[in-house]
Amino acid sequence: MQRRLFTLDEANRLIPWLERAFQGAMETYERLQELRQRLTEIQRERMRRNGTFDRQAELSATETRVQEIEADINEILRDISAEGIIVRDVSRGLVDFPSVRDGREVYLCWVRGEDTIGFWHDTNRGFDHRQPL
């Protein structure tokens, strides 16, 4: 499959959708972190009790919920990737859009909170090497 190349206008049109997608991912991620913390606490209690653990149903339900939420986050990331966008950092909402600049492939770089794409970098470089458009 050939990689999609974005014009600046095409990439900028996807920013509102990306904002919503990352908002949903972050809200889901926060719930996941809370559940993981609860799961750790339950597992520690189980180890302390050494065989007299009465919260097995809660442990199983929490493990199941963690797996469901991880699947929800992965679905959001698959949706973004399916558009041809490269997700670099979920927690920051950092993505790259493959594009062409001066006849060579580059990445248009966007991070959640920016209104439009204002930076690019070479494909062998990252966020720290962003250059203004």
The pLDDT of residue 51 is above 70: no
Distance CA 48, CA 27 (A): 32
Half-sphere exposure of 28 (CA within 13 A, CB side): 20
Please report the sign of the dihedral spanned by the C-alpha atoms of residue 48, residue 54, residue 60, residue 63: negative
Return the pLDDT at 53.
67
For a pLDDT cut of 90, what percent of the chain falls above it? 68
Count of beta carbons in the 10 Å neighbourhood of residue 14: 19
Which pLDDT band holds residue 1 (cuts at 50, 70, 90)? low
Return the pLDDT at 57.
83
Distance CA 9, CA 112 (A): 17
Q: Based on C-alpha coordinates, what's the Rg of the chain?
A: 20
The pLDDT of residue 71 is above 80: yes
Distance CA 31, CA 36 (A): 9
- Backbone phi, psi, residue 23, to 5°: -60, -45
